[in-house]
Homo-oligomer: A and B are copies of this chain.
Amino acid sequence: MKIDVIPYASAIRPDLIKNRNVVVIDVLRASSVMVTALANGANAFIPVSTVDEARQKAVIFQDKEILLCGERDTKTIDGFHLGNSPQTYKRGKVEGKTLIFTTSNGTQALNQLKEAAKVFIGSFLNMKALVHRFLELEDVVLVCSGTNNNFSMDDAMCAALFIDKIMKKKTVLLSDLSITLLKAFQKDNGNLPLLLKDCYHLNLLKRNGFGEDVDYCLQKNISNIVPEMKNGRIVKAN
């Protein structure tokens, strides 16, 4: 199995993802929100790039079953129903709803993947289920969303965990970046708090009062949900 990694969203190029099976990783927090909300009964996410686009889409739908969700600068957007804290996506709020979703990094990546074969969402929360899904697929491009068009170590170490797990199940061909991330991950034996203690985005979230979100998002394998993008919507994979 061929494994490539794209280091951050703005490094996506059409030739890197065309007809490839892609996993989009935005650990803090878009991926974790999607896994959590779909597990709690949300129908689908509609990822959009801008706040204006989100508001326009909500008007078009004119539907009580729509929620406006997302963040800018880590914080809930004015007038939106939900921000980017996964634990606020509770069953009572999201069950049966379609969520129009815009974030600074994760949804930017998603909207550049129209030529991919399949697009899944990866996080620590659903890693085991994600790896299981790739047992029958022959290639993967792991897209680390990053932060503000830069490399973010939380996403990279999630990609590394995927590589670490899948290579115990099947033969892999690793790109240079895949090898590098895996070695970094192994250096601290996959100990996430140790690996990520000086990570920029993680510490920004903590400073902004989202320490509980960070702790939540770094849990491994608490969900069997694998979100998949189909026709521009993120839904539970079959």
Contacts and interface: CB of A to CB of B under 8 A. Distances in A.
Nearest to A155: B176
A145 to B, nearest CB: 13
A43 interface: no
Contact of A183 (B147, B183, B201): B183
A62 B166 CA distance: 58
Contacts of A180: 151, 153, 156, 180-181, 184
Identical copies in the complex: 2
Given A7-B7, A7-B151, A198-B174, A181 B184 contact: yes
Interface residues of A, number: 27
A74 interface: no
28 contacts: A7-B7, A7-B11, A11-B11, A13-B149, A151-B175, A151-B176, A151-B177, A151-B180, A153-B176, A153-B177, A153-B179, A156-B176, A174-B198, A176-B199, A176-B200, A176-B201, A179-B198, A179-B199, A180-B180, A180-B184, A181-B184, A183-B183, A183-B184, A183-B187, A183-B188, A183-B195, A186-B187, A187-B187
> Across chains A and B, which 4 residue pairs bring their CB atoms closest together, nearest first?
A183-B184, A153-B176, A187-B187, A183-B187
A150 interface: yes
Interface in A178-211: 179-181, 183-184, 186-188, 195, 198-201
Interface in A97-114: none
